[in-house]
Structure formats: structure tokens, C-alpha cells
């Protein structure tokens, strides 16, 4: 059960016909999810130097591995009371479905002081909402693969995100992190245009007779940046505090796209 006590509720949720709406003042919320992870490959932990901790510069021993996993879930919301709010009808359920799939690969064991751990993650997240108008009302060129698969069911995909992230040990327990988030269509367009530019490189001028970029890689990089201009780019650092054996960590990140930054201490987040 969820109850809003504020007299004014901001409109921050997506509305069925587009735009935003406020959530119901009182609602019953219930949900369920299923998660599965499969290890494709797992290596061995590099033996620690004599007299050193088994985990090296990490809180616990780290094994190189490649894993795949996914989550499927559903959430049901039922407004309660006569004054549910604009766009809501008391007793009428709204379903939200979520799915997520990820691939993780890591190498290294944190036994050496520098560059002994590297990980790469690729994750796809999607959220859908029902009931909704059929997707067939939208032009086919605007639909993604997932939306086409759900077109006949009347379920509208509310959001799709692809996240690519990489983590690298820099020195001791200090790790650097880079992350890019974008829509699947932007990623597909970047791959398509980047490959096209790589095969047929272009040359452009800066307007004063100077060449901005040239060659296959320069042309491909320029095309990829153009397609990914709306993507979120995040840089961060992560440092477990050695005295706490990883039970406390300092984390700082900067979102280039939103010009936002944050630093925090996380406890028992191994």
C-alpha cells in the first residue's frame, strides 16, 4: 500500500496518451520477478604473493569469469478511493512489465598493484506498460525489435536502454569506471554508420581549408559520435577502504551528459 500525503503531487509518470501525469494518491502495489544467472566460464584465482591476503587488493578473492543473466518481472498497481487523481480510475489495474539481460566478463585477480583486473558489462533493460494502444499506430520505422515482437499484444514498450560499462584497476584497490547508456536504435545506428564510414572514409574541412579528420578510423569515429550524441556518458572511480576489508567503499562519478557529479561512502556493498 502506498499513500501520498502531500497536497500537490508532481506529474512525473508517463501518461497513456503521452506526456506526464501524477501517480494515484493511494494505491495497492504488488509484484513478482524471476532471476537467472549462468556462468559460461570461470578461471582460477592467481595465487597471492607470500605473506599477502588471499583477496589481494580486493575485499574477497576474485575469480575471472564470463557470465550471462536475466530478470523478468511484473508490477500491478491498483488505485484505491474515489480521488485517485487525474488519469486514474479507482479499482482499475495497470500492469508494468520489466526485463533485463546482461553479459559480464572479467579478467584478473587484484593480486598485482596495477592493471590486474578488467571487467566489461553489456546490459539491456526494457520496461512495458499495459493496457496501452497497439503499437501498430506508430510508423514501423520507429519501432525497435522488441516493440515489433509485442505489437500485436497491445503492450507498449515504455523504455529501452542499452548500457556498456568497463571497470579497470588503476593502482591497488583504486578502480576506474566508464559507462555509456543509450537507446538501442542509437547503438544500432552508430554501428551501421560507423561501419559504412570505415568502408568509405570521408574527409571534411573546418571551413578555413584545414582538414578536421581523415582516414578510415577518423571517419568511423566521427560517424559514431554523431549517432551517439544523445547517449549518457559517465566516468567514475571506486576505492574500497583497506582497513574495512571492502565493507566500506568511496565512490565518485561524473555524468558528462547531465553535468552531474556525486561522491558517497557505501557500507557493506561488496
- Please state the pTM of the whole predicted model: 0.78
Q: What is the pLDDT of residues 173-232, one digit of tens each?
A: 899 999 999 988 888 888 888 888 888 876 665 555 555 556 777 778 778 888 888 889
Residue 209: how many other CB atoms lie within 10 Å = 6
pLDDT at 151: 63
Strand, helix or coil for residue 28: strand
Is 12 a residue whose pLDDT tops 90?
A: no
Question: Which residues lie below 8 Å from residue 262, measured CB to CB, with a gap of 6+?
Answer: 252, 253
Report the percent of the chain where pLDDT is more than 70.
85
Q: What is the pLDDT of residues 64-79, one digit of tens each?
A: 999 999 999 999 989 9
Q: What is the mean pLDDT of residues 50-61?
A: 81
The C-alpha atoms of residue 94 and residue 247 are separated, in whole angstroms, by 40
Amino acid at each position: 500500500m502506498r499513500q501520498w500525503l502531500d497536497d500537490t503531487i508532481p506529474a512525473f509518470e508517463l501518461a497513456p496518451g503521452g506526456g506526464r501525469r501524477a501517480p494515484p494518491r493511494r494505491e495497492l502495489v504488488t509484484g513478482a520477478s524471476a532471476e537467472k544467472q549462468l556462468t559460461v566460464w570461470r578461471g582460477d584465482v592467481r595465487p597471492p604473493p607470500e605473506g599477502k591476503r588471499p583477496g589481494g587488493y580486493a575485499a574477497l578473492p576474485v575469480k575471472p569469469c564470463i557470465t550471462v543473466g536475466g530478470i523478468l518481472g511484473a508490477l500491478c498497481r491498483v488505485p484505491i478511493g474515489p480521488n485517485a487523481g487525474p488519469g486514474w480510475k479507482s479499482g482499475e489495474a495497470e500492469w508494468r512489465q520489466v526485463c533485463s539481460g546482461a553479459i559480464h566478463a572479467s579478467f584478473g585477480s587484484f593480486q598485482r598493484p596495477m592493471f590486474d583486473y578488467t571487467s566489461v558489462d553489456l546490459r539491456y533493460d526494457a520496461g512495458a506498460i499495459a493496457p496501452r494502444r497497439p503499437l501498430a499506430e506508430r510508423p514501423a520505422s520507429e519501432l525497435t525489435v522488441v516493440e515489433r515482437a509485442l505489437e500485436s499484444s497491445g503492450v507498449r514498450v515504455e523504455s529501452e536502454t542499452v548500457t556498456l560499462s568497463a571497470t579497470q584497476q588503476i593502482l591497488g584497490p583504486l578502480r576506474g569506471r566508464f559507462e555509456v547508456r543509450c537507446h538501442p536504435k542509437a547503438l544500432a545506428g552508430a554501428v551501421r554508420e560507423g561501419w559504412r564510414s570505415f568502408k568509405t572514409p570521408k574527409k571534411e574541412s573546418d571551413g578555413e581549408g584545414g582538414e578536421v579528420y581523415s582516414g578510415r578510423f577518423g571517419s568511423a569515429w566521427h560517424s559514431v559520435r554523431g549517432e551517439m550524441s544523445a547517449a549518457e556518458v559517465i566516468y567514475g572511480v571506486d576505492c574500497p577502504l583497506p582497513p574495512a576489508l571492502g565493507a566500506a567503499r568511496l565512490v565518485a562519478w561524473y555524468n558528462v551528459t547531465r553535468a552531474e557529479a556525486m561522491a558517497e561512502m557505501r557500507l557493506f556493498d561488496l
